[in-house]
Structure 1
Amino acid sequence: MSTEQPLPVIDHDSAPYWQAAHEGHLDIPLCGDCGKHHFYPRAICPHCHSDNLNFDTVSGRGEVHTFTVARRPAGPAFADDVPYVVALIELEEGPRMMSRIQTDDPEKVHIGAKVEVTFVKASDEITFPYFRMT
């Protein structure tokens, strides 16, 4: 079994998202027709089905909608990370995104906790937007 953590594949639809994360800001799709943000990056708006999409830099602030604490690794590649928090973050701009919460004490994470984005470099190409409580 591999001890290297798997990394996302960057495609045409997600490239601006990953580039922004690499540069230290959170950009998510914004529909030019209905005016709604969405996450994850995709070719059409999930709200109105338009392909008139651009990436918009958002605040990076939100709150924990739900979460779980991973206490057992999801394979050998994650053994050094446990325990870690995986959460569904509701961004101030509306969309929800799955991410990790960086914390020294997973027991302090709770639903409704205010969070802000932080960035963790995983490789030369991939920087993950994680969150931390504020």
Structure 2
Amino acid sequence: MRKITLPFDLRTSYDNEPFYKPAQEEGKFLLPRCKDCGKYYWPAAFICEHCGSANVEWVEASGHGRLYSKVEERFAFHPGIKEYLPIGLCSVNLDEGPRVFGRLLGYENIEDVPYDAPVHLVWLRDDEKAATIMGWELD
């Protein structure tokens, strides 16, 4: 887990607490999976987005995927983030199926990062705010 400073607080909800709590406490990457159709999905919810079943479990995921999209943020969408610009952001198609979003790490020039590049999860933790977010680093 890498240490960072977040410029704002993150709040958990009833739906996503089973994701954030294990991430913060143990560094585990959990995804909801339907026990009826067997599919993983994201964002977190207690109803399967594929079949509508409420028979859902949280399962540890691999933390591996492929880069789907990327952008380098150069405008401060929040005043506290200005000092951290530019920031790479990305969406990742997980090996388990769902698409998630997070920080893109480990690149020099975003234009040189190929789409569909293999990436792996790196947890980014702000101890002061007790918050953990997803970062994706090139393999």
TM-score by shorter chain over 0.5: yes
* Cα contact 1:65–1:112 (8 A) shared by 2: yes
Count the aligned residue pairs: 131
Q: 1:74 to 1:84 in 2, by over 3 A?
A: same
Tell me the C-alpha RMSD between the 2 structures.
Answer: 1.6
Following TM superposition, by how much is the alpha carbon of 1:118 offset from its aligned partner in structure 2, in angstroms? 0.5
Show structure 1 runs of 5+ residues with no match.
none
Residue 9 of structure 2 is matched in structure 1 by: 7
Residue 133 of structure 2 is matched in structure 1 by: 128
2:30 is aligned, of 15, 27, 31, to 27
Structure 1 window deviating more from structure 2 (105-114 vs 17-26): it is 105-114
Following TM superposition, by how much is the alpha carbon of 1:104 offset from its aligned partner in structure 2, in angstroms? 4.7
* Cα contact 1:85–1:106 (8 A) shared by 2: no
Percent of residue pairs bearing the same amino acid type: 25
Distance 2:118 2:10 in 1: 27
Structure 1 window deviating more from structure 2 (30-39 vs 120-129): it is 120-129
Residue 17 of structure 1 is matched in structure 2 by: 19
Matching of residue 100 in structure 1 with residue 77 in structure 2: no
Residue 36 of structure 1 is matched in structure 2 by: 39
TM-score (norm 2): 0.86
Displaced runs of 4 or more, over 6 A: none
Q: Within 5 A, what are the aligned runs for 1:64-79?
A: 64-79=67-82
2:114 is aligned, of 110, 113, 122, to 110
One-letter amino acid of the structure 2 residue matched with residue 52 of structure 1: N
One-letter amino acid of the structure 2 residue matched with residue 73 of structure 1: A
Following TM superposition, by how much is the alpha carbon of 1:19 offset from its aligned partner in structure 2, in angstroms? 1.4
Q: 1:96 to 1:6 in 2, by over 3 A?
A: same
Following TM superposition, by how much is the alpha carbon of 1:7 offset from its aligned partner in structure 2, in angstroms? 3.1
Matching of residue 51 in structure 1 with residue 54 in structure 2: yes
TM-score (norm 1): 0.89
Distance 2:83 2:28 in 1: 27
